[in-house]
Amino acid sequence: MTLAKRTCTPARADSALGLFDLSGRVAVVTGGTRGLGLEIARAFSSAGADVVVASRKADACAEVAAALRASGGNAVGCPCHVGRWGDLDRLVETAYGAFGRVDVLVNCAGVSPVYPSLSGVTEELFDKVVAVNLKGPFRLSALVGERMVAGDGGSIINVSSTGAARPTADIVPYAAAKAGLNAMTVGFADALGPKVRVNAIMPGPFLTTISKAWDREALAVRTRTFALRRAGLAQEIAGAALYLASDASSFTTGAIITVDGGAQWSVPGGGDS
């Protein structure tokens, strides 16, 4: 297997395009079977990376991995509930067992259940939101990050939400968890540097499978205040993810990169998956 270049060293490439080449690298993408995670997995595969696709459903993981292989990539699927640390241990062992290394980790899995009122938020719902959006990424980043430090380095990318900075009444537990994820990003960048870079993408509203449940009229009204006057398309997350995964961002760590179309106000639901 071709060993990957260290993603934390000064970038060297024969061309600007070469800075984004992920050939020889291994990427793990949680939440990789739909929405932004799926687009990130596809982008990494097309850039040459071997990809481990993780989500809760085994059949969805297998289907996406097969599609990536059919497109000329190398990929495996691994069912995993990121809120359960035992599942994360298995995901790490699967990735290292299949490819011998992990160079890029993307914590994209997320959940934001609807609740009737703040007092109607159950302990079970609250714990689930924190487990998937914060506790799981913490554990997975710790497990993979320490192996990266012991090896050739790497890049960790957390997918947050503009809800972390502009929370609304309907996403309070989710927004709090994503705000914690932003803080964790900076802390892990310090803890794992200089060999491992840790950054976050903070998306605004994107049109994915989850957005089908949104009130489209309300969304249209809100997006009129955006500089780009619209919500994002799922594939538009790929550029930011490729930048942070590749040598193009060799001097970027501890950063929270907003990808929201120039939003002036937050959109209920966060829209990041």
The residues that are catalytic are 174
Rounded Cα gap, residues 110 and 180, in angstroms: 13
- Residue 140 phi/psi, 5° resolution? -65, -40
Classify the C-alpha dihedral 122-179-193-141 as positive or negative: positive
Asked whether the beta carbons of 130 and 124 are under 8 A apart, the reply is no
Q: What is the 3-class SS of the chain, one letter each residue?
A: CCCCCCCCCCCCCCCCHHHHCCCCCEEEEECCCCHHHHHHHHHHHHCCCEEEEEECCHHHHHHHHHHHHHCCCEEEEEECCCCCHHHHHHHHHHHHHHHCCCCEEEECCCCCCCCCCCCCCCHHHHHHHHHHHHHHHHHHHHHHHHHHHHCCCEEEEEECCHHHCCCCHHHHHHHHHHHHHHHHHHHHHHHHCCCEEEEEEEECCEECCHHHHCCHHHHHHHHCCCCCCCCEEHHHHHHHHHHHHCHHHCCCCCCEEEECCCCCCCCCCCCCC
